[in-house]
Amino acid sequence: MIIDCHGHYTTTPKEHQAFRDAQLARLADPNLPEPPPAEISDEQIHDSIERNQLRLLRERGGDLMLFSPKASGMEHHVADLATARSWARACNDLVHRVVGLFPEHFAGVCQLPQTPEGPLDDSIAELERCVEELGFVACNLNPDPSGGWWTSRPMTDPSWYPLYQKMVELDVPAMIHVSTSRNPSFDTLGAHYLNADTTVFMQLVQGDLFSEFPTLRLVIPHGGGAAPYHWGRYHGLAERMNRPPLAEHVMRNVFFDTCVYHQPGIDLLHRVIGADNLLFASEMLGAVRGTNPQTGRGWDDTKPYVERLDLPEADRRKVFELNARHVYPRLDARLAAAGR
């Protein structure tokens, strides 16, 4: 089985975005009426998936995708708590409907109603709803709800602990994923996403989060940002700070995905990180779309890159399937119950 741990519902019917636009308009003008939830038919959802993510998943030889709302659309920089709650709920309910229509091919990963420097109570409640009522297997967690201004405390700070406690209780991991950048110095896709991946990895090196939560699991997407490329720097800094070796201090709990869109990058990622901490992913349909003129394949068609690695069959299966089943135990239980 080939499990893609990183997919987004970027092809939602237009009514979904119209609901969001109406929410934002009402924030700008409170005299406007509160918008009703978007009315979207199963047929619209079916068409939006069948023609896009599911078509490509089948064409590229994948079996199942962990599916979450559009990352840049989470827009956690919008500070109104009620708006954040209703928007996250609408996004997650839509993903749940996708999973219901295509249960063999998708599993839900939820958006949390985070706000800049806001409390985490609503995020904890939405996580619990999505996991226990909707059957989701993980969440996306934004380390910078401000959208590029980094007003939040490091992810090792105790202010995050109540959410981690709920994640441990529910036995679900988080993918570290920021939303759109509001800082003009940081392009959302080419800078902000990768900055966040790299920043959080360094926070984990500096802190002692996994001493507090030894079973907490985090997935850092986009190949881990700059971390694999500068692995020697992080080893050296950890030693300079009298931190334990990375293998025991961080990498028992942290995993990187394979959303790296060229062969040399995947080769380096595997050589540095190793098969035990890699999860296959494509980020489809996400930041980099279209065809690579050098390969004639989609930029986000990452499976051939992984297949070209010189991996023993046991390691290949880890990257394509077994690591995901370990990191996402609720997914593993669901698949096992279906005889997969």
Catalytic residue numbers, as ranges: 283
Cβ atoms 210, 250 nearer than 8 A: yes
Please state, in angstroms and as integers, the Cα–Cα distance from residue 210 to each residue in 103, 137, 306, following that order: 33, 21, 29
User: What sign results for the dihedral spanned by CA atoms 293, 294, 296, 298?
Assistant: negative
User: What sign results for the dihedral spanned by CA atoms 141, 145, 147, 150?
Assistant: negative
Residue 16 CB burial class (10 angstroms; 0-12, 13-18, ≥19):
buried
Count of C-beta atoms within a 10 Å radius of residue 129:
16
Max CA pair span of the chain:
63
Q: Is 254 helix (H, G, I), strand (E, B) or coil?
A: strand
Question: Dihedral, CA atoms, 124, 32, 117, 168, nearest 10 degrees?
Answer: 10
Cβ atoms 334, 137 nearer than 8 A: yes
Amino acid at 62: G
Q: How far apart are CA 316 and CA 4, in angstroms?
A: 14
The residues near 291 (Cβ < 8 Å, ≥ 6 apart) are 297, 298, 299
